[in-house]
Structure 1
Amino acid sequence: MMNQPVQSPQFFLTAPSPCPYLEGQFERKVFTHLVGDKAADLNDLLTQGGFRRSQNIAYRPACESCRACISVRILAGEYKPNRSMKRILVRNKDVVATEFPAEPSSEQYSLFRGYLDARHQEGGMSDMTVLDYAMMVEDTHVPTRIIEYRLAGDSIGKDDDGRGRLIAVALSDLMGDGLSMVYSFFDPDYSDRSLGSYMILDHIRRAQDRGLPHVYLGYWVNGSRKMDYKTRFLPQEHLMAGGWERFEG
């Protein structure tokens, strides 16, 4: 690991590899390390510039012939749920969300494993072990939280502490200007609840409660249908060549 000041991070470029989102395309990434006592400041600065965090690495696409990946952030202070989003909130009114320090658990990993097996069997994370999951959660030098979403009053799926069944988890960074959703997953048996969208709605509320203007969603990949959900939370901003631009759909 490298201890580097926020003023002069060192950047590296990956070799080309097949794009996981667009067939026939190849991706490259530029990345730097997020370590040391300036990691949080650097993470804020880079996230605002279109980077994403994975463990102690910040990265962004640097593809030679494609610009399909666009950084997206929701304008949380202006957001008002539309009719379909209100239905999702009502559908999940029995869900209790609790925020914790970034610490993994075997219960989380079991949910994570089931999510990968059902949704991402061919993905790059498909062979992650319990140790890999623990590293994904714990290997951070920035303020990071785990949010667990449980069913209230679920008498069948309660854990040893009497809490309801765990149905979704979000790993998120707390930044100076918002919340950045690093990774989230849910129980595929509850797909009718639209838990992915519900977690975003919950993050918008959390940002509003903290007086933070943004919720960062990572990349919307233009041309990838599985990324279209990210453009449903309006108003939002997209990072373009000239900076952040308002997007109304």
Structure 2
Amino acid sequence: MKFALTQPYQCNYLPDEKEQLLVLMPPDNGMQSTHYEWLITSGFRRSGDQVYRPHCDSCQACRSVRVLVDQFTPSRSQKRLLKKMENWQTRFITELTDEHFELYRRYIELRHYGGAMYPPSKSQFEQFVNCYWHPPRFLEARIDKKLIALAVTDCFGDAFSALYTFFEPDLSDQSLGTSMILLQIQKAKAEGKRYLYLGYQVEGCQKMEYKDKFLPQEQFEQGKWRLIEKKR
């Protein structure tokens, strides 16, 4: 496999740092799902068809996180959310509709105005979530048939990977982001998976601290997975 380094640019999470990515170059014989399944165990992640890992000279704040599904123990607040979720209608789907894009559009416009994904467009949405060599599954959540959230999820032999979640912005006080992670843990356990990958924990970034709350978990540091049983 061949990799390339991006030029350093302003970090999206730590304003005083520069970010640099190690990016997989497409293999000559084409990218395959098995390539990514191996790379994700080495701290890589994907966005659309691009596979990458942080590779910053002056900062090691980003650590890939995976929840140990079989051993996961919900906290008191997570148990309350699980109770509220009992009346949800949930399912995995493989195709997106205008209803899903409309929820995404409203989520970006009301929650991430002016951010990297603003303004939302259908082509940008499809390019971001889809992947020709590893089609994702989409985990829907509804209440009384109304779509309230959707989690883009990659599925592997022994793991799920939580790629992106968006939800009804009018329900921002309902902890839907956390609830969808709990739902993915439930689904992963039901399908006999060992892990749920959550992407990168960024030390010093408050908006990423929620990932520390799903325990026990492992974090990828210095080429090895390290068990975390208590919040740091």
TM-score, shorter chain, exceeding 0.5: yes
- Runs of 4+ aligned structure 1 residues displaced above 4 Å come to 33-38
User: How well do the aligned residues superpose, as a CA RMSD in angstroms?
Assistant: 1.6
Give the equivalent residue in structure 2 for 1:173: 154
Question: Structure 1 residue 34: deviation in Å?
Answer: 6.0
SS at match of 2:86: coil
Greater Cα offset, 217-226 or 141-150: 141-150
Question: Structure 1 residue 42: deviation in Å?
Answer: 0.8
Give the equivalent residue in structure 2 for 1:227: 208
Question: Structure 1 residue 135: deviation in Å?
Answer: 2.1
User: For the Cα contact (< 8 Å) 1:34–1:56, is it kept in 2?
Assistant: no
User: Counterparts of 2:135 and 2:69 in 1: how far apart (Å)?
Assistant: 20
User: Counterparts of 1:147 and 1:195 in 2: how far apart (Å)?
Assistant: 13
Unaligned runs of 5+ in 1: 1-8, 153-163
- TM score, norm. by length of structure 2: 0.93
Amino acid at match of 2:182: L
Give the equivalent residue in structure 2 for 1:55: 48
Percent identity over the alignment is 38
Structure 2 CA distance for partners of 1:13 and 1:37, relative to 1, 3 Å: closer
Give the equivalent residue in structure 1 for 2:164: 183
SS at match of 1:64: coil
Give the equivalent residue in structure 2 for 1:16: 8
- TM score, norm. by length of structure 1: 0.87
Give the equivalent residue in structure 2 for 1:197: 178
Post-superposition Cα deviations, 1:73-106, rounded to whole Å, max 9, x if no partner, equal 00001012121111011222221111011x2221
Question: Structure 1 residue 220: deviation in Å?
Answer: 0.5
Kindly indicate whether residue 225 of structure 2 is the aligned counterpart of residue 244 of structure 1: yes
Amino acid at match of 2:148: I
Unaligned runs of 5+ in 2: none
Give the equivalent residue in structure 2 for 1:4: none
User: Counterparts of 1:221 and 1:138 in 2: how far apart (Å)?
Assistant: 25
Structure 2 CA distance for partners of 1:117 and 1:72, relative to 1, 3 Å: same
User: Counterparts of 2:82 and 2:143 in 1: how far apart (Å)?
Assistant: 14
User: Counterparts of 1:174 and 1:40 in 2: how far apart (Å)?
Assistant: 10
User: Counterparts of 1:57 and 1:242 in 2: how far apart (Å)?
Assistant: 21
Kindly indicate whether residue 147 of structure 2 is the aligned counterpart of residue 147 of structure 1: no
